[in-house]
A and B are shown apart, each in its own frame.
Chain A
Amino acid sequence: MTALLAIDGVSKSFGALRVINDLTLSLQPGEALGIIGPNGAGKTTMFNLISGNVTPGQGTVHFKGQNISHWSPAQRCRAGIGRTYQIPHPFGGMTVYENLLVGAIYGAHHAERAAGRLAMNLLDLTGLAPKADKLAGGLPLLDRKRLELARALATEPKLLLLDEIGGGLTEHEVHELIGIIKTIRAQGTAIIWIEHVVHALMAVVDRLAVINFGVLLAEGEPAAVMAAPEVQAVYLGVEAA
């Protein structure tokens, strides 16, 4: 079986700072991978390399067997990579519903009517349906995070990148989020999820990877990875500081 996503020997530097160093990682269709690591470890840069917001200095990114290393973010979205941003970027002057239409029409190539149906289904799934006609700029944080997720889903991704979507949420809200993400998984969408809320990750992912200083520190079965001494030392050590 060919991997859905294959990151091969990728490095990225900003000036003298090497943010990602010779990273190799792959993902099977439908798989869910969790990413943890201290702040500044290069997790978001890794996402930007997958979604096309930055291009690799060295190495390649393959998606569904195609080399996408130099594709634009829009091309990658249309190929099936959806992403959320850690800091939500709503289209503030558009309604919540229209925010989803953009993804459904431009990302998933739907006609306006079909896009509208898809948008409404996703608003139901994410609990935003009562606010469909509200301007996205006026939403509180939780709803903004939900909108990031709903909008990315509107592009009908094969691979969904979630960047700290649970950050800043209450325990109850995180619980709801886990339910939504499990539903998405059940529909066969592969997921890579960066999260500091480790128990949320453990409830969803098949595999866990730890990144530190742009290097893959450990990778494998979630419980085993969390128990590994080098992870305990680096990850939890930083956490406790």
Chain B
Amino acid sequence: MRAKLLSPKAFQIYGLALLVVLMVVAASQPWWARRYTEQWTTEFLYTLALAQAWNLLAGYGGLLSVGQQAFIGVGAYMVVALGLLAGWNPFLTIPVAGLVCVVLAIPMAALLFRLKGANFAVGTWVAAEVLRLLVSNIDAVNGGSGISITPTLIGMPIWWRMSETLWIALALGVGGMAMVYGLLRTRLGLALTAVRDSEPAAASLGVSVSRMKWAVYLVAALWAGMTGALIFITKLRVAPDAAFSIDWMTTTFFVTVIGGIGTVEGPLIGTAVFFALRALLADYGSWYLIALGLVAIIFMLFIPQGIAGVLKTLTGSNLFPTQRHAPKVAS
């Protein structure tokens, strides 16, 4: 057998220890970090949250949606509706935004699930555009020009606002990862992984493929909705073009594809690489986008399993093992 870089056990222990340290570093930032750093960490974590939700949807459920910005946008506008217009604490609107997106996702899924493959992808995008146009025509939220939500934050100390934003982003990012991992270790995870690998075979073995798709679509809508609400609390201004922008999806694709689609750690690794590249290339203007595009193309062509897949081959282990081992039977 070929020598591994690290033993599987050591890889897992070091990996998990590193994660715990990083979480503590992130959560304690309000007490030691500069505002800029705190904002950066928040953005990192909500990008991770979006990637985790899309990875569940596309990587496991096989639902290649390019329209999750529908829920990001609706989540953002719930901050406007409940926070600005109804006077709620904006942070309290986050869970409600998620639930509203789940309710909205039910009729959307009923329509979109009639479409297959590329048609489904285009359909999700169209649905998001329809919502963008609808919101652009609501005068109460200032239509297409957008509206500031700063009044909802008046009287809240900036330290507290930034801390709360960071901690919620941590809950959505790391919580999203924990949720996907937890799900995969249950019976449901077995079915979900089967659907990922072959839909016809999963169906022929008794797995209700359509029920699985409904479940991941609703969970992904919940997560995108909550994350969308949080993102726009940090941005202080909500406009339809920004909230329902496809740019949210391009970042999400990039992160998930280079990290490793259909793996638990892929979105985390991909988010880290994305932020590193952005920091390195920030001074090069549009070359930065060209470089990102090239990286994405190289991964799609030559490393479709992503960085998580490469790490798995090198170490023979997963940071988040979901494998069930065959019982040893005395014969």
Contacts and interface: CB of A to CB of B under 8 A. Distances in A.
A98 B327 contact: no
Given A95-B323, A116-B327, A132-B326, 13 more contacts: A53-B203, A53-B204, A72-B208, A83-B204, A89-B200, A91-B198, A97-B324, A98-B193, A102-B194, A105-B190, A106-B190, A108-B206, A120-B327
A91 B331 contact: no
A97 B208 CA distance: 20
A94 interface: yes
A102 B198 contact: no
B190 A98 contact: yes
A82 to B, nearest CB: 8
B82 interface: no
A83 B202 CA distance: 11
B197 A94 contact: yes
A48 to B, nearest CB: 10
Interface residues of A, number: 40
A81 to B, nearest CB: 9
A17 B205 CA distance: 29
Interface in A61-96: 72-74, 77-78, 82-83, 85, 89-95
Given A53-B200, A89-B200, A94-B197, A106 B205 contact: yes
A93 B202 CA distance: 13
A32 interface: no
Interface of B: 187, 190-191, 193-194, 196-198, 200-210, 262, 323-327, 329, 331
A91 B203 CA distance: 12
27 contacts: A53-B204, A74-B203, A77-B204, A77-B205, A89-B200, A90-B197, A91-B196, A91-B201, A91-B202, A93-B196, A93-B262, A94-B190, A95-B325, A95-B326, A98-B193, A98-B324, A102-B190, A102-B206, A106-B206, A116-B324, A116-B327, A119-B326, A120-B327, A123-B326, A124-B329, A151-B201, A154-B205
B199 to A, nearest CB: 9
A175 B323 CA distance: 34
Contact of B205 (A92, A97, A107, A112): A107
A73 B204 contact: yes
B198 A101 contact: no
B331 A78 contact: no
A103 interface: yes
Contacts of A55: none
A155 interface: yes
A51 to B, nearest CB: 6
A20 to B, nearest CB: 19
Contact of B209 (A74, A78, A155): A74
A133 B325 contact: yes
A151 B207 CA distance: 13
Contacts of A151: 201, 205
Contacts of B331: 124
Contacts of A105: 187, 190
Contact of A101 (B209, B210, B324): B324
